[in-house]
Chains A and B, each alone.
Chain A
């Protein structure tokens, strides 16, 4: 049965696919700006602790569910529940919905990265480094590149686990690593790059507010594609002889390593091009689609276009590999639960995703709304419940984690899944999601922050964006 679903040809292929799922714009852009603006090395220190306490147990728990059952999320939860609790299947459904919701806007973002890469060869971003993104983010260009991205993603997924996903990610992920490494080396030898390193590595423990620590926790599990069923689904295609503990740890380390290298790529580049002050605290999109293009333009037409093209190709590879894993989750559920052949399942799911993604491509509020629902409702809850399930209710997790290892660590990891990990996720949920900071800086439930929405609580934000999406929000 497992063979009919497909398997990875090698551990390398699996790790590349899983790292491809984990490594996205969150690693290449979001992590660097979080690192630089939340305490530098102090943030990194907290991040690494949280990686061990939250990220690692969560990813190993999720992978174990897939590896043991060799099933897609819905069936995996049903099968592993002690006493056969069928209702656990809804957790798998929630994960599938999360992946699908994320895909509704992530596919559009992937289209942007491709458009920026293509824009290297004509007067796209080079001609208008700060305005190009605004021109292509929503509208006909967004739809065109969304269609291209969805077609290619759908094709890769329809080709199957080893024939499609593994084959593609085994090429583009090493290429991505090479691109990032090349740009790190280039920046390293440019005069004036030191301020960039200082920005990301100079420790400022005073910057570690509860919200920043919450941001670090969120970064850990958003970065590792947790709570969306992706890791579970990919692990369900592992061979029995492959170790969850070794591969999961490799994925977590690679994910963090790429994020760190990305920080050493972006901030020194901003520093040696003299843009650190202007763009150092830019958001994810501002950093990727305004600051970096401006930096490349300042390098001149040859070096600028060359490095810019390489950078945006890397961004596309990162986003594309994540999009593949997100689409694979619902496709695997349709294949496993409805008995539809993979090619047809990919067409149906890909088509539905495309329809909703078109809405994101033309209307930024829906884009934001899909993101908020996925994060505030599905992903955070999904990570917590999956970890609790793996720790308390699933059979055989500790044994699976010990397989392929000489030492017995499974019992300790399961203990973490039962205690520390869900508590930390809950704290993140409360302080990072439900609560915002009021105007006086205190935490407030349903806080709407100030007029510009700073510190807006998750639920209030969700409400506002929904009202904006349906045109009922009073901006006055």
Chain B
């Protein structure tokens, strides 16, 4: 066999090997981390406000295949029959339908020592986390783990505000102290809409 024929045979074997490896390991080699994000600004939640006495958890649907990047959340707490200083807190986070949650933003609200009732407000922001910081539900701490086979457009995330009422003594009249809350999501929110991988344009064609 001549040298050139041996080279052809070698290239042929390498080509078959490359094909086999490509077919077997293409998922691992496919560079799935190329999820990109398109910044989208949207209106506030249509003026969505929820006020409910005795309710401590609020949930808002976010019908976007997106991760919220910025949202201002204000909790206005109203106390009746209270007594003295007290403080409560709340956290806000995104939640996947399967229950997994993003890192929360947190806020507090408080009443002064002389306060008997009235309102107190607290503010929290969910700020600047990106998709891979959000939920393990989306299976990820880094973009290469994002499951690009899933249709994220059908994923409806929830923005959840979970309020912890102040613990403490009953009111001065011996009655039960009650708290009610109004949650406002104000102003603009910014999301990073998930853009599934599409091949980059070549400079030559």
Query: Which of B34, B36, B199, B203 lies in contact with A285, CB distance below 8 A?
Result: B199
Task: State the total of A-B contacts with C-beta under 8 angstroms.
Answer: 127
A29 CB–B CB distance under 8 Å: yes
User: When chains A and B are docked, how far (Å) is the Cα of A354 from the Cα of B20?
Assistant: 13
Q: Which chain A positions have C-beta within 8 A of B19? A: 143, 147, 358
From residue 1 to 53 of chain B, which have CB atoms closer than 8 A to chain A?
4-5, 7-8, 11-12, 14-15, 18-19, 21-23, 25-27, 29-31, 33-34, 36-37
Q: Mark B185-205, 1 if CB is under 8 A from A, else 0.
A: 000000000001111111111
Which of B8, B130, B142 has most A Cβ within 10 Å? B8
Q: Other than the known A138-B30, A358-B19, what 12 A-B pairs have Cβ atoms closer than 8 Å?
A: A284-B205, A348-B7, A362-B22, A362-B30, A364-B34, A365-B34, A367-B199, A371-B203, A375-B203, A375-B204, A452-B36, A468-B33
CB-based nearest A residue for B142: A475
Report whether B11 and A29 are in contact in the complex, using a CB–CB cutoff of 8 Å. no
A179 CB–B CB distance under 8 Å: no
User: When chains A and B are docked, how far (Å) is the Cα of A102 from the Cα of B26?
Assistant: 21
Report whether B203 and A344 are in contact in the complex, using a CB–CB cutoff of 8 Å. no
Q: Which chain A positions have C-beta within 8 A of B25? A: 362
CB-based nearest A residue for B204: A222
From residue 329 to 375 of chain A, which have CB atoms closer than 8 A to chain B?
340, 344, 347-348, 351-352, 354-355, 358-359, 361-365, 367-368, 371-372, 374-375
Report whether A355 and B14 are in contact in the complex, using a CB–CB cutoff of 8 Å. yes
From residue 157 to 205 of chain B, which have CB atoms closer than 8 A to chain A?
196-205
Bin the interface of chain A by size: 35 or more
A137 CB–B CB distance under 8 Å: yes
B122 CB–A CB distance under 8 Å: no
Q: Which chain A positions have C-beta within 8 A of B26? A: 138-140, 143, 362
User: When chains A and B are docked, how far (Å) is the Cα of A344 from the Cα of B203?
Assistant: 31
B143 CB–A CB distance under 8 Å: yes
Report whether B11 and A348 are in contact in the complex, using a CB–CB cutoff of 8 Å. yes
Report whether B11 and A352 are in contact in the complex, using a CB–CB cutoff of 8 Å. yes
User: When chains A and B are docked, how far (Å) is the Cα of A137 from the Cα of B197?
Assistant: 10
CB-based nearest B residue for A288: B205
Which of A138, A347, A362, A368 has most B Cβ within 10 Å? A362
A305 CB–B CB distance under 8 Å: no
